[in-house]
Structure 1
Amino acid sequence: MMNTTTFPPPPLSTLFSLNSHTFSLLRTSPPSTSSAAKFTTFIRAERTTTTSITTNPTPSQRSEDHTLLSLLRSRKTEEAWLLYSQSPHLPNPTCLSRLVSQLSYQNTPESFSRAQSIISRLHHERQLHRLDSNSLGLLAVSAVKSGHTLYAISIIKSMLRSNYLPHFKAWSAVVSRLSGSPDNGPNDAIRLYYSVTKRIRRVEDRTLVAHSWPDTAAFNAVLNACANLGDVTKFCQLFDEMPEWDVVPDALTYNVVIKLCARIDRKDLLVCVLMLMISKGVEPCITTLHSLVAAYVGFGDLETAERLVQALREGRRDLCRILRDISLAKVDGVDNEIEIKHENDDIVIKHENDGFEKLIPKSIIDNAEPPLLPRVYSPDSRIYTTLMKGYMKAGRLSDTVRMLEAMRRQEDSASHPDHVSYTTVISALVKAGSMDKARQVLYEMTRIGVPANLVTYNILLKGYCQQLQVDRAKGLIKEMTDVVGILPDVVSYNTLIDGCILVDDSAGALAYFNEMRARGIAPTKISYTTLMKAFALSGQPKLANKVFEEMLKDPRVKVDQVAWNMLVEGYCRMGLIEEGKSVVERMREHGFHPNVATYGSLANGIALARKPGEALLLWNEVKERCAPRRDDDANNSTLPPPIRPDEGLLDTLADICVRAAFFRKALEIVACMEENGISPNKTKFTRIYVEMHSRMFTSKHASKARQDRRREKKRASEAFKFWLGLPNEYYATEWSLNPPGRQDQYESDSI
Structure 2
Amino acid sequence: MTVVKPPPSSSATSTLSHRQHHILNSITHLHCSSKLFNSTTTRNINILRTEATTNSSTSISTTTATTPSQRKTNSDDILLNLLRQRKTEDAWIAYTQSPHLPNPTCLSRLICQLSYQNTPSALTRAQSIIRRLRHERQLHRLDSNSLGLLAVSAAKSGDTLYANSILKSMLRSGYLPHVKAWSAVVSRLAASGDDGPKEAVKLFSQVTRTIRRFSEPDLVMNSRPDTAAYNAVLNACANLGWTDKFRQLFDEMPESECEPDVLTYNVMIKLCARIERKDLLVFVLERILEKQIPLCMTTLQSLVASYIGFGDLDTAEKIVQAMREGRLDLCRILRDANLQELEKENDNDNEVFEKLLPNMNYPSDYEPPLLQKVFVPNTRMYTTLMKGYMKAGRIKDTLRMLEAMRNQEDSSSQPDHVSYTTVVSALVNVGSMEKARQVLTEMTRSGIQANRVTYNILLKGYCQQLQLDNARETIKEMINAGIEPDAVSYNTLIDGCILIDDCAGALEFFNEMRAKGIAPTKISYTTLMKAFSVSGQPKLAHDVFNEMEKDPRVKVDLVAWNMMIEAYSRAGMLDPAKELVDKMKRKGVYPDVATYGSLASCIALARKPGEALLLWNEIKERCGLVTSDETQVLKSSSKVPVLKPDEGLLDTLADICVRAAFFKKALEIVAFMEELGIAPNKTKYTRIYVEMHSRMFTSKHASRARQDRRVERKRAAEAFKFWLGLPNSYYGSEWRLEGEGVEDDEYAI
What TM-score do you get using the length of structure 2 for normalisation? 0.87
User: In 2, are the aligned partners of 1:606 and 1:614 still within 8 Å (CA)?
Assistant: yes
> Are residues 657 and 274 of structure 1, via their aligned partners in 2, closer, same or farther at CA, if it must alter by over 3 Å?
same
Aligned equivalent of 2:647: 647
> Are residues 363 and 508 of structure 1, via their aligned partners in 2, closer, same or farther at CA, if it must alter by over 3 Å?
closer
Letter in 2 for 1:536: S
* SS of residue matched to 1:165: coil
* Structure 2: distance between partners of 1:569 and 1:362: 52
Shift of 1:703: 2.1
Aligned positions of 1:190-269 closer than 5 A: 190-269=201-280
Aligned equivalent of 2:304: 293
Shift of 1:553: 0.9
1:730 and 2:730 are equivalent in the alignment: yes
1:12 and 2:36 are equivalent in the alignment: no
Shift of 1:504: 1.2
Aligned equivalent of 1:317: 328
* Structure 1: distance between partners of 2:440 and 2:406: 16
* Structure 1: distance between partners of 2:694 and 2:356: 70
Aligned positions of 1:12-411 closer than 5 A: 12-13=4-5, 41=38, 58-332=69-343, 336-337=344-345, 351-362=348-359, 365-366=362-363, 368-411=366-409
What TM-score do you get using the length of structure 1 for normalisation? 0.86
1:665 and 2:634 are equivalent in the alignment: no
1:603 and 2:603 are equivalent in the alignment: no
Moved more, 108-117 or 309-318: 108-117
Q: Deviations over 1:413-459 (max 9, x none)?
A: 11111111111111111111212211211121122221111111111
Aligned equivalent of 1:623: 620
* SS of residue matched to 2:636: coil
Letter in 2 for 1:550: E
Aligned equivalent of 1:736: none
Letter in 1 for 2:618: E
Letter in 2 for 1:691: E
1:568 and 2:568 are equivalent in the alignment: no
* Structure 1: distance between partners of 2:350 and 2:634: 22
User: In 1, are the aligned partners of 2:417 and 2:451 still within 8 Å (CA)?
Assistant: yes
> Are residues 14 and 721 of structure 1, via their aligned partners in 2, closer, same or farther at CA, if it must alter by over 3 Å?
farther
Aligned equivalent of 1:23: none
* Structure 2: distance between partners of 1:445 and 1:41: 51
> Are residues 582 and 517 of structure 1, via their aligned partners in 2, closer, same or farther at CA, if it must alter by over 3 Å?
same
Structure 2 regions of 5+ residues with no counterpart?
Answer: 8-36, 58-67, 734-749
Shift of 1:633: 4.9
Q: Deviations over 1:27-85 (max 9, x none)?
A: xxxxxxxxxxxxx946989x99x999999862222223233333333434344333333
Letter in 2 for 1:544: A
* SS of residue matched to 1:211: coil
Q: Greater Rg, structure 1 or structure 2?
A: 2
* Structure 1: distance between partners of 2:361 and 2:411: 35
> Are residues 76 and 522 of structure 1, via their aligned partners in 2, closer, same or farther at CA, if it must alter by over 3 Å?
closer
Letter in 2 for 1:407: M
Aligned equivalent of 2:25: none
Equivalent residues, number: 685
* Structure 2: distance between partners of 1:170 and 1:14: 27
Q: Deviations over 1:494-530 (max 9, x none)?
A: 1111111111111111111111111111111111111
Shift of 1:652: 1.4
* Structure 2: distance between partners of 1:232 and 1:465: 40
Q: Deviations over 1:240-295 (max 9, x none)?
A: 11111111111111111111111111211211111111221211111111111111
* SS of residue matched to 1:58: helix
> Are residues 331 and 10 of structure 1, via their aligned partners in 2, closer, same or farther at CA, if it must alter by over 3 Å?
same
User: In 2, are the aligned partners of 1:379 and 1:415 still within 8 Å (CA)?
Assistant: yes
User: In 2, are the aligned partners of 1:517 and 1:523 still within 8 Å (CA)?
Assistant: yes
* Structure 1: distance between partners of 2:131 and 2:502: 41
* Structure 1: distance between partners of 2:170 and 2:634: 39
User: In 2, are the aligned partners of 1:43 and 1:212 still within 8 Å (CA)?
Assistant: no
Letter in 1 for 2:648: G
Shift of 1:370: 2.2
Moved more, 362-371 or 281-290: 362-371
* Structure 2: distance between partners of 1:180 and 1:215: 19
Letter in 2 for 1:126: R
Shift of 1:363: 8.9
Aligned equivalent of 1:496: 493
Aligned equivalent of 1:3: none
Tell me which protein shows more helix as a share of its residues: 2
> Are residues 479 and 14 of structure 1, via their aligned partners in 2, closer, same or farther at CA, if it must alter by over 3 Å?
farther
* SS of residue matched to 1:337: coil
Q: Deviations over 1:179-232 (max 9, x none)?
A: 111111111111111111111111111122100011111111011111111111
User: In 1, are the aligned partners of 2:548 and 2:556 still within 8 Å (CA)?
Assistant: yes
Structure number with the bigger relative contact order (C-alpha 8 A, sep ≥ 6) is: 1
Shift of 1:710: 2.5
Shift of 1:309: 0.4
Structure 1 regions of 5+ residues with no counterpart?
Answer: 1-8, 16-39, 339-349, 734-751
RMSD (Å), alpha carbons: 2.7
Runs of 4+ residues over 4 Å off in structure 1:
40-45, 50-57, 628-635
